[in-house]
Amino acid sequence: MSGVVVGGAYGGRVVDSMTRAQVLGFRVRAQQLDRAPGSVGLGKAAVLDIGAQDTGPDGGLWALAIRAVDVTALSGDELATVWSIRGAPHLYRRADLPAVAAAVAPFSDADAGKRIFDASKPLRAAGIGNLAALDTVAAAMRKVVRRPTVKGEVSTQVTRLLDEPYLRFCRACNATHPYEMTFRLAAVRAGLELEAGTSPPVLRRIPGGPKPAAEVPERFDVIRACLRLLGPATPKHVADYLDAPVTEVRARWPADAVEVRVGDENRWLLAGDAEAAAAGPVRVTRLLGPFDLFLQARDRPLLVAEPARAKTLWPALGRPGAVLVDGRIAGTWRPRSSGGKLRLAVELWAAATAATRRAIEQQAERLAAFRGVPLAAVDVDR
């Protein structure tokens, strides 16, 4: 990166350019994937500002573990799981839930309509606003969940309390129930969390709330968090991450965002991160979970340029994990059960050095320890 020019479509400075290696290296550092195990406390875990998606056995806690948090030292009540961004379960610090509830709420009625997808059409036809609908569903959920209750039972009881515009017939279930995204996005508004490790999910009341913060603290502003952890990015990248309209994101674009050229595209990052963005690749190997934040960036061609490899990494169903080597995605991994032991099938996209293979094996040992089972073997294809 070189000189700085005054100007920019969204105000602030314009930084010349960043290479692909610089972008990926910036994200590795920003997300603390370069830290030594146990060197980051829960309060300083940057990923928890935006939420660590907790999908699958190698979900939120594994995301924290590979970002240097000692998850074995957690008391069990320091973290909470709520449905938030894109209706997916995410881990947050329990103490942050009021700020999180405010941060992940739709920006407007139009934004809410986009986030709840096809549920918006019957509501509109009935003259019901999208935000009002979320509040109605939230009130019903709050009324139903007085003790820990499995999701299916909550859905059944909530269905009895809602009118037709809120409901749909589900062919897969052969039953009528609330629209899925409306149900999920209303849960945190109802002051509900998910019991950790439950499948199917068990919903319960969050002790004392949460009562959403009156204003979103800058640290938890989802647009700023995207730029800080997944930048440099465009308004569309951020909007796609949030399932929000681009116009809503543009209207709230940070005044201190600076413009940077990546390839043939203008992107933005926060001014305070401009100096850090100039650094190069990070020499580190990690086994990323299938829904890790690093893989959630909406510029997938930058992460994986080859379409065939991208299709392997992000299939419609059954995502593998990703092998991160020196800031780039070098292949995929999948766990295999082997008599109570963990066996890892690793597919690399290029020939690996002996040092890289050793690093992958070390990370596999780390994953096995995290799962609480012995490591049987690491089968590397390449």
Final residue belonging to a domain, choices 194, 211, 228? 211
- Among 211, 228, 247, residue at a domain's last position: 211
Q: Are residues 201 and 295 in the same domain?
A: no
**21 found inside a domain:** no
pLDDT band at 299 (very low <50, low <70, confident <90, very high): very high
Residue 177 banded pLDDT, cuts 50, 70, 90: very high
d(CA 137, CA 143): 10
* Amino acid sitting at position 246: V
Q: What is the overall mean pLDDT for the chain?
A: 94
pTM of the model: 0.94
**Cβ–Cβ contacts within 10 Å for residue 112, how many?**
24
Beta bridge partners of 334: 345
Cα–Cα distance list, 208 to 98, 108, 145, 185 (Å): 10, 26, 14, 19
- Would you say residue 166 lies in a domain? yes
State how far the Cα of 220 lies from the Cα of 49, in Å rounded to an integer: 5
Q: Are strands 375-381 and 341-348 parallel, antiparallel or unpaired?
A: parallel
Q: Is residue 120 a part of any domain in this protein?
A: yes
Residue 275 identity: E
Residue 283's pLDDT band (cuts 50, 70, 90): very high
What proportion of the chain, given as a percentage, has pLDDT over 70? 96
Asked if residue 335 belongs to a domain, the reply is: yes
Distance CA 225, CA 222 (A): 5
Ranges 71-75, 77-81, 236-240: which has the least confidence: 71-75
Does 23 map to a domain?
Answer: no
Mean pLDDT, residues 58-80: 95
Q: How confident is the model at residue 281 (pLDDT cuts 50, 70, 90)?
A: confident
pLDDT in the model for residue 332: 98
Let me know if residue 183 belongs to a domain: yes
Is 235 part of a structural domain of the chain? no
Residue 73 lies inside a defined structural domain of this protein: no
Q: Report pLDDT for 172.
A: 82
What's the structural domain count of the chain?
2
Say if residue 131's pLDDT is above 60.
yes
Judge residue 258's burial from the number of C-beta atoms within 10 Å of its C-beta, 0-12 exposed, 13-18 middle, 19 or more buried. buried
Q: Which of 211, 243, 273 is the last residue of a domain?
A: 211
DSSP-assigned beta bridge partners for residue 287: 323
pLDDT at 21: 94
Instruction: Give 137 or 338, the one with higher predicted confidence.
Output: 137
Are the CB atoms for 227 and 268 separated by under 8 Å? yes
pLDDT at 15: 59
pLDDT at position 6 over 80: no
Query: In terms of Cα–Cα distance, which of 202, 189, 192, 7 is closest to 115?
Result: 189
pLDDT mean over 240-248 = 98
Among 24-38, 123-137, 254-268, 327-341, the range scoring the smallest mean pLDDT is: 327-341
What angle in degrees, to the nearest 10, is found between the helix axes of 130-144 and 180-189? Answer: 70
Summarised one tens digit per residue, pLDDT across range 213-224 is 999 999 999 999
Q: Which residues in the chain belong to E strands, given as ranges?
A: 4-6, 13-18, 52-53, 79-83, 89-93, 149-150, 167-170, 175-178, 192-194, 202-205, 257-262, 265-270, 285-288, 321-325, 328-338, 341-348, 375-381
DSSP E strands in 7-67: the ranges are 13-18, 52-53
Q: Domain limits at 353?
A: 285-381
Residue 343 has pLDDT above 80, yes or no: yes
Round to whole Å and give the CA distance between 334 and 91. Answer: 23
